[in-house]
Amino acid sequence: MKDITKHYSNGAVTIVWKPNVCIHSEMCFHGLPEVFNPNQKPWIHAEAATTEAIVSQVKQCPSGALTYFMNADVAAQGGVEPQISAESIVEPTPNGPLLVYGNIIVRDAAGHETHKNKVTAFCRCGASSNKPYCDGTHTKINFSDKA
């Protein structure tokens, strides 16, 4: 799978989108539909909201498919985009996925590796059609931690 990264800016902040990382939680367009509209091409319109609103919404992305950087910070660093780094933290969410925060490598049964950063949501319910990743099916099947 091709590693695609797209950038969208309003002048002050740049939204970075990695479609191959997306788990389609829909939090982006349910929270800020004037910026994130999957029915339009391009689907991200960074000029449609304030920088503060964009930053707040991008921080809600559970997969890390959406990240951001402040353009002034990049300019001060000589035009170099920030590298994403974090310690690894594993956290089961109540009645939902297993969240892994940080930079990780996911290796499939065939040995193919996928590099993930920020937050990766792994399926715990067993019903995801995108295993090992969560696709939100746990809510449709009423998955519960209680046996």
The residue that leads in pLDDT, 87 or 35, is 35
Is the pLDDT at 103 greater than 90? The verdict is: no
Contact 17/65 with Cβ under 8 angstroms?
yes
Please give the radius of gyration of the chain, using alpha carbons only, rounded to the nearest integer.
16
Structure tokens at 87: 């310690």
Query: What structural domains and CATH numbers belong to the chain?
Result: 6-76 (3.30.70.20), 89-140 (3.40.5)
pLDDT per position as a tens digit, 66-75? 889 999 888 8
Structure tokens at 26: 């829909």
pLDDT of residue 84: 52
**What whole-number distance in Å separates Cα of residue 129 and Cα of residue 138?**
11
pLDDT per position as a tens digit, 22-62? 777 788 888 999 999 999 999 999 999 999 999 999 988 87
Confidence of residue 126 (pLDDT cuts 50, 70, 90): very high
Q: Is the dihedral of CA 81, 86, 90, 96 positive or negative?
A: negative
